[in-house]
């Protein structure tokens, strides 16, 4: 049996997978608190991740009646880009600054300029730095909290930090490292010269974790942690990866021809590639996968985070919000919402705010506003898919994950907006499942067996009841709605 952990923005999820029986034995989650402030500050206490992991794993083991001695490995998925800077004792010098933090936008713009603009970034890193990547967070910490910066002994990402707590090893893998901004995504190596530009006082050899391959273990459980979690000693901890990379594994997206689209707190679109890509758009990140390949990816900042804000504003539960959404027509009777509550990454508008256009005394209804926020988030993802250019050609279907994928109406909207057939995996927490599958792959690799493709074929099952096919009339209607969305982008933000 294998444990998959997904440490996200809102919660940590844990699943236990019986590989031989090809089934999920149990799952549980615990929430996190998000600290938000003026200027786009969004941070979390890494200690909350540990509390959530302990609580969720304890619940799974207790309620599913699992024999802890049967656990062979643990895989960890984590929210990408977060800065977890540790001192010499392994304690955070500052709260973790998250992927959705936009306070560092000026530092990011400065770093892009110092690296030679977009062309210089592509030459050095294989991608263009974006606000939210780890690099600008380090530069921000250096300027704003020099006393904390001076105590840095190690720079980790959230999943690296959980691996460190589990094993005592300071390691990283190419998938999650791709989103730091000081990692060459083509050669799969740290770029020490870029880190020196960001943080000249830090010794890259000392502060950067050791890089391991995706199929290699981060280590084994520390004896004291094994006792605390109620597990046996010698349990393997796999390399793990970023939530997008492990979510791709959990949807079976480890070969060309598939797209994984996440309707989570943020929105992501990714497609597997066996080789590095040179995208036409700087908004497409040439990330590595956590399987040994590459995972070109686009990320938007406002999806269920945006729908939740509107739902809470109106005091609606999820069921009622869904009813309002279904009651409004395509295009929300002319209402257009650009849901940039957290700024936006695609298009590159880190300091943008949300806006409503087209309101009249007739169309200003709860139903239309609920429809407009869902359509706005989905049209933003369509804009991101457009940035893939030739990379999106030949896509056979979209594998849909994230909280929004539970809505039949939203699934149909995605199918109609993209003109593609859509289906969800049976396991909604694809990143946690992907983490467990990677752990099984890693464990098998130590004994010379266990292909990841075989594991995905056996354990990634599609929910045929969730399948949505694009409706030609709806696809045509959404072309007009998308054109209106693009006009609003152009008028308000000068985005062509």
Domain limits at 146? 2-244
**What CATH number does residue 199 fall under?**
3.30.420.40
Could you tell me which of 221, 264, 219 has the C-alpha nearest to residue 239? Answer: 219
**465 belongs to a structural domain:** no
- Other CB atoms within a 10 A radius of the CB of residue 366 amount to 18
Task: Give the model's pLDDT for residue 17.
Answer: 95
Q: Which two tokens stand for residue 88?
A: 């010499």
**119 belongs to a structural domain:** yes
Contact 178, 127 (CB under 8 A): yes
For residue range 394-445, what is the model confidence (pLDDT) as tens digits? 677 899 999 999 999 999 999 999 999 999 999 878 999 999 999 999 999 9
Task: Give the model's pLDDT for residue 394.
Answer: 65
Task: Give the model's pLDDT for residue 439.
Answer: 97
Question: What is the count of structural domains for the chain?
Answer: 1
Distance CA 78, CA 8 (A): 6
- Other CB atoms within a 10 A radius of the CB of residue 183 amount to 28
Contact 374, 413 (CB under 8 A): yes
What parts of the chain have a pLDDT lower than 50?
Answer: none
Three-class SS string for 9-44?
Answer: CCEEEEEEEECCCCEEEEEEEEECCCEEEHHHEEEE
Is 243 known to be catalytic? yes
**237 belongs to a structural domain:** yes
Q: Which two tokens stand for residue 193?
A: 């010269």
Distance CA 180, CA 198 (A): 11
Q: If you search the block for the tokens 């001695």, which residue do you land on?
A: 69
Identify the bridge partners of residue 29 per DSSP, sorted by sequence position. Answer: 13
For residue range 355-392, what is the model confidence (pLDDT) as tens digits? 999 999 999 999 999 999 999 999 999 999 999 887 77
Task: Give the model's pLDDT for residue 123.
Answer: 93
Distance CA 377, CA 102 (A): 18
Could you tell me which of 167, 166, 34, 189 has the C-alpha nearest to residue 99? Answer: 34
Task: Give the model's pLDDT for residue 427.
Answer: 85
Strands 236-238 and 217-220: antiparallel
Distance CA 250, CA 441 (A): 13
Task: Give the model's pLDDT for residue 450.
Answer: 75
pTM comes to: 0.90
Task: Give the model's pLDDT for residue 279.
Answer: 77
**300 belongs to a structural domain:** no
Task: Tell me the longest C-alpha to C-alpha distance in the chain.
Answer: 68
Q: If you search the block for the tokens 């650009």, which residue do you land on?
A: 338
Distance CA 440, CA 170 (A): 21
Between the CA atoms of 1, 14, 98 and 379, what dihedral angle is there, to the nearest 10 degrees? 100
**308 belongs to a structural domain:** no
Task: Give the model's pLDDT for residue 392.
Answer: 74
In 3-state terms, what secondary structure has residue 406?
helix
DSSP letter assigned to residue 265? S
Distance CA 259, CA 116 (A): 32
Distance CA 131, CA 102 (A): 6
**190 belongs to a structural domain:** yes
**424 belongs to a structural domain:** no
Q: Among residues 176, 184, 243, 416, which one is catalytic?
A: 243
Q: If you search the block for the tokens 């096919």, which residue do you land on?
A: 469
**406 belongs to a structural domain:** no
């Amino acid at each position: 049996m294998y444990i998959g952990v997904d440490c996200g923005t809102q919660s940590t999820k844990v699943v236990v997978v019986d590989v031989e029986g090809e089934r999920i034995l149990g799952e549980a989650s615990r929430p996190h608190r998000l600290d938000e402030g003026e200027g786009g500050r969004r941070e979390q206490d890494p200690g909350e991740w540990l509390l959530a992991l302990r609580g969720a794993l304890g619940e799974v083991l207790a309620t599913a009646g699992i024999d802890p001695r049967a656990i062979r490995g643990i895989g960890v998925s984590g929210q990408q880009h977060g800065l977890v800077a540790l001192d010499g004792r392994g304690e955070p010098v500052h709260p973790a600054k998250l992927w959705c933090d936009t306070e560092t936008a000026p530092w990011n713009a400065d770093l892009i300029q110092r690296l030679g603009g977009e062309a210089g970034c592509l030459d050095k890193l294989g991608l263009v730095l974006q606000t939210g990547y780890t690099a600008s967070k380090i530069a921000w910490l250096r300027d704003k909290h020099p006393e904390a910066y001076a105590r840095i002994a190690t720079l980790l990402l959230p999943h690296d930090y959980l691996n460190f707590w589990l094993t005592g090893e300071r390691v990283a893998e190419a998938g999650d490292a791709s989103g730091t901004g000081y990692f060459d995504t083509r050669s799969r190596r740290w770029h020490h010269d870029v880190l020196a530009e960001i943080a000249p006082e830090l010794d890259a050899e000392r502060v950067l974790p050791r890089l391991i391959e995706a199929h290699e273990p981060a280590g084994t459980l520390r004896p004291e942690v094994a006792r605390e979690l109620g597990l046996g000693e010698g349990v393997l901890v796999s390399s793990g990866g970023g939530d997008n990379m492990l979510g791709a594994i959990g949807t079976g997206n480890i070969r060309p021809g598939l797209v994984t689209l996440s309707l989570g707190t943020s929105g992501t679109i990714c497609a597997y590639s066996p080789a590095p890509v040179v995208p036409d758009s700087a908004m497409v990140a040439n990330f590595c996968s956590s399987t040994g390949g590459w995972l070109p990816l686009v990320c938007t900042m406002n999806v269920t985070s945006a729908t939740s804000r509107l739902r809470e504003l109106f005091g609606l539960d999820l069921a009622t919000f869904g009813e309002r959404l279904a009651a409004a027509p395509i295009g929300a009777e002319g209402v257009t919402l650009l849901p940039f509550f957290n700024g936006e990454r695609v298009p590159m508008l880190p300091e943008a705010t949300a806006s409503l256009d087209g309101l009249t005394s007739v169309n200003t209804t709860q139903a239309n506003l609920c429809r407009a926020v869902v359509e706005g988030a989905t049209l933003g993802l369509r804009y991101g898919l457009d940035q893939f250019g030739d990379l999106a050609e030949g896509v056979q279907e979209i594998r849909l994950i994230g909280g929004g994928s539970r809505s039949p109406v939203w699934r149909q909207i995605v199918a109609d907006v993209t003109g593609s057939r859509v289906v969800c995996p049976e396991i909604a927490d694809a990143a946690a499942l992907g983490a467990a599958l990677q752990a099984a792959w890693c464990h098998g690799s130590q004994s010379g067996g266990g292909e990841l493709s075989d594991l995905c074929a056996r354990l990634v099952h599609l929910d045929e009841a969730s399948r949505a096919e694009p409706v030609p009339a709806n696809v045509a209607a959404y072309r007009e709605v998308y054109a209106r969305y693009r006009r609003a982008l152009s008028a308000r933000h000068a985005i062509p």
